[in-house]
Amino acid sequence: MKIRVLGCSGGIGAGLRTTSYLIDDDILLDAGTGVGDLTDEEMSKIRHVFLTHSHLDHVTSLPLLVDSIFDHIKEPLVVHAQAATIDVLKTHFFNWDIWPDFAELPTRESAVMTYKAIKPGEIHEISGRTFEVIPVNHIVPTVGYRIVSPKGGVFAFSGDTTTNDTFWAALNAHDRLDLLFVEVAFEDAHLELSKLSRHYCPQLLADDLKKLNHHPSIYLTHFNPGREREEAIYKECLTQLGSKAFKRLAANDTFDL
């Protein structure tokens, strides 16, 4: 299983793209602005989109993606998301005012996009890859994922979250974790803002990583943009995470599991 980072920033700017990961060539994990760097051919191969939550930086490219591949696909694009996330997409995106409802085009019986509601605790299998849905703690209903490759490699993504027990307990319930992408959005000086918006800062992340029994390769994602802020967050992580080995995630990073 190959993971390609299309975007991993908390915002946009020169060279920055928001959260989206391409798994092999047929699955998107979130649909942030990074999707826009794919070619027409690459977009046409995508068959499934797994969403963590409804915030704009994680779904903004979905309407444009469906429009771009409208004439090139023979099977509907399946959007996997919690019911609350699907309701937001239907009400505020695919509502004919903001964007056409592609769940009804070209006809309701042969639409190019369909929804599949998922629930925390479920495991979904796509061509030998399994996706475990894990609830996390964000300002809207949000999940992370534990994904197992056909070869047995294990990748986990926190989604957007702050202090919680559910994500770490779900990972500890298994005996393997090779790769972890986890968010950290603010500096410690913005601890209260982190709590209010339900994002990690280095201090909160360091406390939660103590709950993890595994020793995966850890990559930090979702830094709020701005060179000085990004550097400050990273330096604070170096201090707060101590012996935990980690790196900053970057667009175009690739991983094989």
As averages over each run of 10 residues, the pLDDT of the chain (257 residues) reads 97 91 98 96 97 98 96 92 98 97 92 97 97 98 98 98 98 98 95 95 96 96 82 90 85 96
The pLDDT, as a whole number, for residue 227 is: 67
Domain count, the chain: 1
What is d(CA 135, CA 41) in angstroms, rounded to the nearest whole number? 33
Angle at 9 (CA atoms; ends 130, 66), nearest 5 degrees: 60
What is d(CA 134, CA 149) in angstroms, rounded to the nearest whole number? 17
For the whole prediction, is pTM greater than 0.75? yes
The pLDDT, as a whole number, for residue 226 is: 76
| CATH at 175 | 3.60.15.10
Measured CA to CA in angstroms, residue 181 lies from 16, 97, 110, 233, 249 at distances of 17, 35, 36, 16, 8
Compute the 3-state secondary structure of the chain and give helix, strand, coil in percent, each to the nearest 5: 30, 25, 45
84: left (phi over 0), alpha (psi -120 to 50) or beta: alpha
What range does the domain containing 129 cover? Answer: 2-256
